[in-house]
Amino acid sequence: GAVVSQHPSWVICKSGTSVKIECRSLDFQATTMFWYRQFPKQSLMLMATSNEGSKATYEQGVEKDKFLINHASLTLSTLTVTSAHPEDSSFYICSARDQALTNEKLFFGSGTQLSVL
């Protein structure tokens, strides 16, 4: 089945630094990728939708200058947390839609735990 590879699985960084999270679709082309954030014991919160070759669409309340999303190819989308602060610590998950499929199937990455010290 289709696989979305998300890296890193976990990252610890100092406050003020930037962190990049990658999501790759390994055996399909993903026109659309979704980025979520999940706090402990809570549900997923959609942060933004990225489409290959165009600007990402951010959900209300999500700072686009803080969370930079790039979807430069059909197999790679990245989320960069800029000038990270402790309140950015969270679990980040991506999901991707296979452009070859006309159905509703989404494939999820394994997530990235970000801890900002």
Q: Which residue ranges make up the site for another protein (CB under 8 A)?
A: 32, 34, 38, 42-46, 49, 91, 93, 95, 97, 104, 106, 108, 110-111
Q: Which is nearer to another protein, 13 or 44 (CB)?
A: 44
- Spatial CB neighbours of 69, under 8 Å, sequence gap ≥ 6: 35, 48, 50, 56, 77, 78, 79, 80
| 94, 101 Cβ separation under 8 angstroms | no
From the CB of 16, what's the least distance to another protein, in Å? 27
| 80, 19 Cβ separation under 8 angstroms | yes
Which has the closest alpha carbon to 101: 53, 30, 46, 36? 30
Q: Which is nearer to another protein, 29 or 49 (CB)?
A: 49
54 membership: H or E segment, kind and range: none
From the CB of 83, what's the least distance to another protein, in Å? 26
Q: Which is nearer to another protein, 76 or 91 (CB)?
A: 91
Burial zone of 117 (CB within 10 Å; 0-12 exposed, 13-18 middle, 19+ buried): exposed
Q: Which is nearer to another protein, 24 or 97 (CB)?
A: 97
